[in-house]
């Protein structure tokens, strides 16, 4: 856990960038090996968690407790808890606060559940989840775009290079998801 708010934002953005690079590489191979969706889900959730940590750390009034796991204070909160916090008026104000429909939140939660199944060895075959997994992934990457690029809660200036790299990865991933779905 990184206590310094600016260092936490920088490390989170680096994590998002690396996770998106991983997702992009896996997407390049998914047509020949659909099981790569499992790894794409892992990378997508890592990127989502990093995006939420950066967003929830962005305000000058942000505290370390805004991103920690209440059960394990030395860890970041699970992505589902960070999702709730990013949608809460207790943590972010408009336009930074994440506003989602119930259906959109469920699509993101579908990606999180798929990733959890992969990590914990309980996942079913990718075809058992949905006829098209692309919608939930598009929603997830759209959420990352919102909290990091469209309405960042942190001052984007010092992070211009990494946010530009994140934007490039998100654009490439989005093109792949539209082209494949």
Q: What is the residue-wise DSSP string for 69-134?
A: -SS-TTSBPPHHHHHHHHT-TTT--TTTS----HHHHHHHHHHHHHHHHHHHT----GGGT-S--H
**pLDDT for res 149:** 98
**pLDDT for res 181:** 46
**pLDDT for res 10:** 97
**pLDDT for res 31:** 86
pLDDT-based confidence at residue 127 (cuts at 50, 70, 90): low
**pLDDT for res 125:** 59
Strand partners, 68: 76
The pLDDT of 103-131, averaged and rounded, is 77
Q: What is the pLDDT of residues 143-163, one digit of tens each?
A: 999 999 999 999 999 999 999
Asked if pLDDT for residue 173 goes beyond 50, the answer is yes
pLDDT-based confidence at residue 170 (cuts at 50, 70, 90): very high
**pLDDT for res 138:** 95
Q: What is the pLDDT of residues 67-96, one digit of tens each?
A: 999 999 999 999 999 999 999 999 999 999
């Amino acid at each position: 856990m990184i206590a310094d708010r600016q260092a936490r934002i920088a490390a989170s953005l680096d994590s998002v960038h690396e996770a998106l690079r991983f997702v992009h590489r896996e997407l390049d191979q998914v047509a020949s090996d659909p099981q790569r969706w499992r790894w794409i889900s892992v990378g997508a959730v890592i990127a989502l968690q990093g995006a939420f940590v950066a967003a929830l750390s962005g305000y000058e009034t942000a505290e370390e407790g805004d991103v920690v796991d209440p059960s394990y204070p030395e860890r970041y909160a699970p992505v589902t808890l960070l999702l709730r916090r990013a949608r809460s008026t207790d943590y972010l104000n408009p336009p930074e606060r994440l506003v989602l429909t119930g259906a959109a939140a469920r699509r993101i939660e579908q990606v999180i559940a798929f990733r959890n199944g992969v990590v914990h060895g309980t996942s079913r075959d990718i075809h058992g989840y949905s006829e098209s997994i692309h919608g939930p992934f598009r929603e997830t990457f759209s959420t990352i775009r919102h909290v990091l690029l469209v309405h960042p809660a942190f001052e984007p200036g010092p992070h211009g290079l990494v946010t530009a790299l994140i934007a490039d990865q998100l654009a490439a991933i989005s093109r792949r998801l539209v082209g494949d779905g």
